[in-house]
Chains A and B, each alone.
Chain A
Amino acid sequence: MRYLKEKKYLILAGIICGIVAMLLAIFDNPKNMAICVACFIRDTAGALGLHRAAAVQYVRPEIIGIVLGALIIALCTKEYKSIGGSSPMIRFLLGIMMIIGALVFLGCPLRMILRMSAGDLNAWVGLVGFVLGVGTGVIALRMGYTLGKNHETNLTSGFVAPFLLVVIFILALTTNLLFQSESGPGSMHAPVLISLTGGLVFGAVAQRSRMCFGGAFRDSIMIKNFDKLLIIGALFIVMLIYNIASGDFNFGFKDQPIAHTEWLWNILGMYVVGFAAVLAGGCPLRQLILTGQGSSDAAVTVLGMFAGGALAHNLNLASSATGTTLNGRVAVLICLALLFIIAYLNRRQEANA
């Protein structure tokens, strides 16, 4: 009975997150990108001047909202815990790679699901890569991969990342110091209050339900537990209904909003994201949630994601609707090599004996 009740909560969590995504889409966030962690971190990095791609610069209140939503709910439920110290620089690297993989595909796992629900078959191809990447991560876990245990840190340490995000948000609201796109995806956004509220709700629900795209597939592959897929399934169905009802459903490979059709790089890009997500202990969304819960390790991963977003545009790695770039393809291959090296070098000694 308790088990069924838990499943109902997971489905409800997915429905709520789906409704948030739907409302953000209705209120003018880019199509098929209602709420994308990779894209929105990249936009926020651009607003800070970390990259100069004029079309993708905007402080996305959703990112701040997700972290604060998780923080508030964790404080209310006494689950906030300031922790850190588990191989931070490797996590930084994994954060960079997650975003590079995501921006070659054009979306984090959350946006992949949103694109899938809009009939974008390129995203379904990306899903194949994501699942294969998670599967490879599971093999690494089975072979003893670990970044070591974390430790409790000073209480204030866990508040630093949420505080910095709030400062960025205040600067965006009250000054002209930050960049803001006048055209392109960065110029398309819901009103600030709706974006922030959406992020807060999304973050709180994701914290309570332990929503994680990497974790959902990891559990399915590693221990045949499919519970967390219920959240993703419910979110997918809500957005599928919305897309069909709004006329945004476009079944096929071509003419999809902010997407390309290069299937190999869609697979490999999401393979990098899935593999890195397992090695880092969570997908890009989960890293934001853990940051809100007080994890400095996750916060370092998020910093890596900001660096990855900046690098992706400064070094011309990010794809566009016209396709991938040579630099992006090379970067994905380098990420693949690095991921295998990280997985191999960070094995539990005792497990290999």
Chain B
Amino acid sequence: MHNKTVKLLITCPTTSDVIALEKYCHQYNVPGRIIPTPRKYSSGCGYAWYTDLEYKEIILQLMNKHQIDYDDIYEHIE
């Protein structure tokens, strides 16, 4: 029996935004990793930042502080 979990998924307009997000998340000890944006969210072949839902506010502040753009924020069920 597989329990469904909800994760946070952030898509950005450019790969460099996702990479910058990764850099600052690591710098501020926010866990997470880069994954290919799931097909259901995008027909592009870009990347998304994937982390736990609880870090949403920290990440939003971090993106604001370092001027990192994002396209969408999803609560990704898996």
Contact = CB atoms under 8 A, between A and B. Distances in A.
Interface of A: 1-2, 6, 74, 77, 79, 141-142, 144-150, 207, 210, 212, 215, 219, 222-223, 225, 227-228, 281-282, 286, 293, 348, 350-351
Nearest to A211: B45
B20 interface: yes
Given A74-B43, A148-B14, A2 B34 contact: no
Contacts of A6: 39
A281 B17 CA distance: 14
Nearest to B78: A2
Given A210-B43, A210-B44, A210-B45, A219 B16 contact: no
B14 A146 contact: yes
Contact of B15 (A74, A77, A146, A286): A146
A74 B43 CA distance: 9
Contacts, number: 59
Interface of B: 2, 13-17, 19-20, 23, 33-36, 39, 43-45, 47, 66-69, 78
Nearest to A218: B45
Given A207-B43, A210-B44, A144 B35 contact: no
Contacts of A79: 43
A142 B2 CA distance: 35
Pairs of residues from A and B, 7 with the lowest C-beta to C-beta distance, nearest first:
A146-B16, A149-B13, A79-B43, A215-B45, A348-B16, A210-B45, A146-B14
B2 A1 contact: yes
Contacts of B35: 223, 225
A149 B46 CA distance: 12
Contacts of B66: 350
B16 A144 contact: yes
Contacts of B78: 2
Contacts of A351: 16, 19-20, 23
Contacts of A223: 33-36, 47
A293 B47 contact: no
Given A1-B2, A146-B14, A141 B67 contact: no
A222 B36 CA distance: 10
A79 B37 CA distance: 15
Given A141-B19, A142-B19, 18 more contacts: A2-B78, A6-B39, A141-B15, A141-B16, A146-B14, A146-B15, A146-B16, A149-B13, A207-B43, A210-B44, A212-B45, A222-B34, A228-B45, A281-B45, A286-B45, A348-B16, A350-B67, A351-B23
A144 B33 contact: no
27 contacts: A1-B2, A74-B43, A77-B43, A141-B15, A144-B19, A144-B20, A146-B14, A146-B17, A149-B13, A150-B13, A210-B39, A210-B44, A210-B45, A212-B45, A219-B36, A222-B34, A223-B36, A227-B36, A228-B36, A228-B45, A286-B45, A293-B43, A348-B20, A350-B20, A350-B68, A351-B19, A351-B20
A219 to B, nearest CB: 6
A206 to B, nearest CB: 11
B14 to A, nearest CB: 5
Contacts of B23: 351
A162 to B, nearest CB: 16
A146 B18 CA distance: 11
B45 to A, nearest CB: 4
A322 B44 CA distance: 39
Given A142-B19, A348-B20, A149 B14 contact: yes
A227 B47 CA distance: 13
Nearest to B16: A146
Contact of A145 (B16, B33, B47): B16
A290 B13 CA distance: 15
B7 to A, nearest CB: 13
Contacts of A348: 16, 20
B16 to A, nearest CB: 4
